[in-house]
Amino acid sequence: MLTYQLKKQPGLPLYEALYRCIREDIRTGRLRPGEQLPSKRSLCANLKVSKITVENAYNQLLAEGYISSREKVGYFVEAVQQLPPQTPKASQTPPPEGKLLDLSGNGSPRFPFTVWSRLQRQVLLDYGQKLLLPLPNQGIGELRQAIAWHLGAFRGLEVNPEDIFVGAGTDFLYNLLVQLLGRDKCYGVEEPGYSKIYDIYRCAGARCTLLSMDKSGVLPDAATQVLHISPAHHFPTGLVTPLSRRRELLKWVGAEDGRYIIEDDYDSEFRFAGRPLPTLKAMDTAGRVIYMNSFTKSLAPSIRISYMILPSSLMEALQTRLGFYAGTVPSFEQYTLARFIREGYFEKHINRMRKFYKARRDTLLELVAQCPRRLQVLEEGAGLHFLLRVDTALTDPELVAACAQKGLKVRCLSQYYRESPPENCRGYLVINYSGLGDADIEILAKVIKTL
Amino acid sequence: MLTYQLKKQPGLPLYEALYRCIREDIRTGRLRPGEQLPSKRSLCANLKVSKITVENAYNQLLAEGYISSREKVGYFVEAVQQLPPQTPKASQTPPPEGKLLDLSGNGSPRFPFTVWSRLQRQVLLDYGQKLLLPLPNQGIGELRQAIAWHLGAFRGLEVNPEDIFVGAGTDFLYNLLVQLLGRDKCYGVEEPGYSKIYDIYRCAGARCTLLSMDKSGVLPDAATQVLHISPAHHFPTGLVTPLSRRRELLKWVGAEDGRYIIEDDYDSEFRFAGRPLPTLKAMDTAGRVIYMNSFTKSLAPSIRISYMILPSSLMEALQTRLGFYAGTVPSFEQYTLARFIREGYFEKHINRMRKFYKARRDTLLELVAQCPRRLQVLEEGAGLHFLLRVDTALTDPELVAACAQKGLKVRCLSQYYRESPPENCRGYLVINYSGLGDADIEILAKVIKTL
């Protein structure tokens, strides 16, 4: 028979105390699933409480699914989730890792933990209660000022902090843009390209058109009204849109009302040779270019901070029509990042990473050069990937399978096409080297030699 | 004449060094807007560099908008944004505050800074590099387990952590739901209600229908396919949907394929009398209820973490069709919150806040009771607001204006209707007391006395 010491506590009805005792026993497994509970009558006699107390407790347990009743038989313990174990030690739960060396995804740049952690402590001390206030939906002023300053100093882009909108990742911002520019518009995206962009516009309800690329990038087709491109460095081809094409695109966007260009500048920080061309945003005099960037590549994918820079008229429209949206980035991360930029750490980090990635790229290029078989490297001047042309009789799926068999997870250029890829794009591996360790390079070297 | 000591640096072309010197002078204001630059010829003579070096430097400055050229006249400094001041001291930039005592918005509960900050340090030490890995889009396992455990222990809701999806605020999750359930469906929302919910569904492209309330809550009309409600505590009326109506709603949702209920449980933690009723989610046997909650009210609005619990079939559909969306909450905040919950601090915080809010509510109720004029308080049992019925000849806009004149920013119930409010809802002030300080209470007391 269940026996509990039920004490009267101020504010806690007796039935509630009983309910809690039984629930605790069920949750800890002392009462096992399927076990029958005493009848109400016998329990109230045993505990010396009124029948209504037991009745209320049982009803609460019934309502919450801890027990069930079978007519004329009695009450039975249900199978419920048990109490969780203690917080697991980090060392016991290593990140899930595939067995293959993965060249298709994003890596984690070497992150300045010590600095970040110190800034976090400073932010906590300096801002305190201020960190708890509701946030301006476009991001805190300090962060927008810091971003504007960074873009001015290191990207040659003069922007008004008031035109910056900060969000938890570009996915959210793309969705916001569809709601701002209209889902009745037709969004042109690059083919081949980063397939997610197409997916997001489609799922947001917009019409989409795939724009094939020539050697200067894309040109919008007749249907396109909003053009989404990454002129600084196209993924996966690595192409940089030359100035002449940039001028053509700006001419196109200005030629008709309601046209816009979304300039995705996602990894422009990692350019290894020469100076980057000015952004379309910097060249835009008509107020039709929306600039986007993210700290995902330049800091870490787990820091969910992206931003866009809108023409002032669009920012006004956004705040008027969509101003009800709350901000999406925690204040704490925003203040920390603002300091990280303002105090020069972001620039230092980028420079360090650029050197690091360049060295890694050079190692890979050397490896390729030493290969007996003819391999050709293309578009290696920027970003964190290059194309490796393999002179092979294998089809692309066969090539990918052959690499996988040797422990190398990699994708072909043709796999980044949504529609059927042109015949001449066969045999190009997309080598994304941002996430490789030293040991990985050795594996890669071995695989390349056998290609 | 401009004079710079241009030194050859490895990796830095001379034109780039010159470009940087001039840019720096423009950015710091040493070269003023409108000032004419030396001609290319004279500058290259002065600096003893080749003409092509000066030309390249000027072209870069031109391309980036630092200078402009006037044909046959020369080059002129443009007005550009100057370097920003140093990081402002927190004390110099107090949060913007209105002069009115504001009873219409959200406050900041007293936040356990010391604990949070300690957990942050632990997380940094324990997880290190793991914090940089790309995140599972539905949230890290530790946080989902902690949420499931919390809901089981304190809300009587048994959920599988695999069915939880974490996002940066409910706004993002609502948008995701429209993309998951379909924007061709008709979404029924409460009238009166939290107007943002209607706005979000509309802007996401879904059809919406306003459902008027009776004393038990809402009933879906013939058009409704997805019903968005907050049965635990409706805003702004404060109504709790009784069990009988909950059963009716579950019957409705199960009666036709494709119907869903979105149960917004946003401030269920703050119930002052009696036990909360079981959630619709707990009562749902057909897998048609989506549960939503957020840490915005229970922790701080600046911590952007919300979550939803989907029926397993919907989670599968989400990952299949919308799995390309990246997670939106930084890993760092997720790990910190997971520990905060698992180590019992969240429960302690909620209990402390509940006491705090209850005391504040009781103070307000006492104030009202002492008023000579007849004021009536309604629906004060839960949540962080109640209704104050004022026996007045004033219209609602006049009442709001009268309060504002006395320093009290407050809204009337009728202002939460999208369409014309019924006549009998006149004279109800919505008193949201979550953000009041002790001094505020005194102002409020004075205003109430004169109502």
Q: pLDDT tens, A402-429?
A: 888 888 888 999 999 999 899 888 999 9
Q: What is the pLDDT of residue A396?
A: 92
Q: What is the pLDDT of residue B98?
A: 38
Cβ–Cβ below 8 Å for A282 and B64:
yes
- Token reading at B13: 């072309």
Mean pLDDT rounded to a whole number for chain B = 85
Determine the Cα–Cα distance for residues A341 and A409; give it in Å rounded to an integer: 35
Residues of B in contact with A145 (CB under 8 A): 84
Q: Which residues pair with B210 in a beta bridge?
A: B189
Work out how many CB contacts closer than 8 A connect A with B: 231
Q: pLDDT tens, B416-434?
A: 999 989 988 899 999 888 7
Neighbouring CB atoms inside 10 A of A117's CB total 15
Closest alpha carbon to A444 in A355, A379, A365: A365
Cβ–Cβ below 8 Å for B329 and A148:
no
**Edge-to-edge strands, sheet with B428-432:** B375-378, B385-390, B428-432, B411-412
Q: What is the pLDDT of residue B85?
A: 38
Q: What is the pLDDT of residue A238?
A: 87
B137: helix, strand or coil: coil
Find the mean pLDDT for residues B211-240.
93
Q: Are A151 and A160 in contact (CB under 8 A)?
A: no
Cβ–Cβ below 8 Å for A278 and B153:
no
Q: What is the pLDDT of residue B64?
A: 59
Find the mean pLDDT for residues A271-292.
88
Cβ–Cβ below 8 Å for B329 and A168:
yes
pLDDT band for position A337 (cuts 50, 70, 90): very high
Which residues, at least 6 apart from B42, have a Cβ–Cβ distance to it below 8 Å? B1
Q: What is the pLDDT of residue A103?
A: 59
Q: What is the pLDDT of residue A29?
A: 77
Cβ–Cβ below 8 Å for B134 and A106:
yes
**pLDDT at A106 > cutoff 80:** no
Which residues, at least 6 apart from B22, have a Cβ–Cβ distance to it below 8 Å? B2, B31, B37, B57, B61, B66, B67
For A203, the closest chain B residue by CA position comes to: B179
Cβ–Cβ below 8 Å for B16 and A275:
yes
* Chain centre to alpha carbon of residue B374: 37
Q: pLDDT tens, B148-173?
A: 999 998 888 999 999 999 999 999 99
Q: What is the pLDDT of residue B12?
A: 65
Residues of B in contact with A146 (CB under 8 A): 84
Residue of B87, B205, B321 with shortest CB distance to A205: B205
Q: pLDDT tens, A382-404?
A: 668 888 888 888 999 999 998 88
Residues of B in contact with A327 (CB under 8 A): 169, 304
Classify residue B271 by its DSSP letter. Answer: B
For A27, the closest chain B residue by CA position comes to: B153
Residues of A in contact with B114 (CB under 8 A): none
**pLDDT at B86 > cutoff 50:** no
Cβ–Cβ below 8 Å for B108 and A132:
yes
**pLDDT at B9 > cutoff 80:** no
Residue of A127, A146, A160 with shortest CB distance to B90: A127
Q: pLDDT tens, A111-170?
A: 888 898 889 889 988 988 788 888 899 999 999 999 999 999 888 899 999 999 999 999
B338, B342, B345, B349 alpha-carbon torsion, rounded to 10°: 80
**pLDDT at B273 > cutoff 90:** no
Q: How far is A328 from chain B (nearest CA, A)?
A: 5
Q: What is the pLDDT of residue A255?
A: 96
**pLDDT at A63 > cutoff 70:** no
pLDDT band for position B99 (cuts 50, 70, 90): very low
**Edge-to-edge strands, sheet with A385-390:** A375-378, A385-390, A428-432, A411-412
Determine the Cα–Cα distance for residues B88 and B100; give it in Å rounded to an integer: 27
Cβ–Cβ below 8 Å for A168 and B128:
no
Residue of A60, A152, A277 with shortest CB distance to B275: A60
Picking from B206-215, B284-293, B323-332, B399-408, which range would have the lowest pLDDT averaged per residue?
A: B399-408
Picking from A21-25, A188-192, B100-104, which range would have the lowest pLDDT averaged per residue?
A: B100-104
Determine the Cα–Cα distance for residues A187 and A189; give it in Å rounded to an integer: 6
Residues of A in contact with B83 (CB under 8 A): 149, 153
Cβ–Cβ below 8 Å for A132 and B300:
yes
- Token reading at A219: 């040109």
Q: What is the pLDDT of residue A414?
A: 93
Residues of B in contact with A25 (CB under 8 A): none
Residue of A124, A149, A203 with shortest CB distance to B179: A203
Q: pLDDT tens, B43-52?
A: 888 888 888 7
Query: Mutate which of A16, A26, A172, A195 to disrupt the B interface (most B C-beta within 10 Å)?
Result: A172
Q: Are A179 and A206 in contact (CB under 8 A)?
A: no
Determine the Cα–Cα distance for residues A245 and A230; give it in Å rounded to an integer: 13
B241: helix, strand or coil: coil
Neighbouring CB atoms inside 10 A of B380's CB total 20
For B57, the closest chain A residue by CA position comes to: A275
Determine the Cα–Cα distance for residues A23 and A33; give it in Å rounded to an integer: 12
pLDDT band for position B65 (cuts 50, 70, 90): low
Residues of B in contact with A94 (CB under 8 A): 130
Residue of A87, A105, A156 with shortest CB distance to B339: A87
Determine the Cα–Cα distance for residues B204 and A172; give it in Å rounded to an integer: 12
Residues of B in contact with A126 (CB under 8 A): 89-90
Which residues, at least 6 apart from A398, have a Cβ–Cβ distance to it below 8 Å? none
**pLDDT at A317 > cutoff 90:** yes
Query: Mutate which of B16, B56, B58, B64 to disrupt the A interface (most A C-beta within 10 Å)?
Result: B64
Cβ–Cβ below 8 Å for A171 and B124:
no
Cβ–Cβ below 8 Å for A134 and B80:
no
Find the mean pLDDT for residues A352-371.
84
Q: Are A142 and B167 in contact (CB under 8 A)?
A: no
Q: How far is B392 from chain A (nearest CA, A)?
A: 32
Q: How far is B198 from chain A (nearest CA, A)?
A: 11
The alpha-carbon radius of gyration of chain B (Å, integer) is 30
Residue of A63, A81, A172 with shortest CB distance to B328: A172
Q: What is the pLDDT of residue A391?
A: 87
Higher pLDDT, A396 or B79: A396
The single-letter code of the amino acid at A328 is T
Cβ–Cβ below 8 Å for B171 and A195:
no
Determine the Cα–Cα distance for residues B250 and B234; give it in Å rounded to an integer: 18
Cβ–Cβ below 8 Å for B196 and A324:
yes
Q: What is the pLDDT of residue B52?
A: 78
**pLDDT at A84 > cutoff 70:** no
Helix (H) or strand (E) holding B195: helix B195-203
- CA A108 vs CA A269, A298, A299, A436: distances in Å: 15, 9, 8, 9
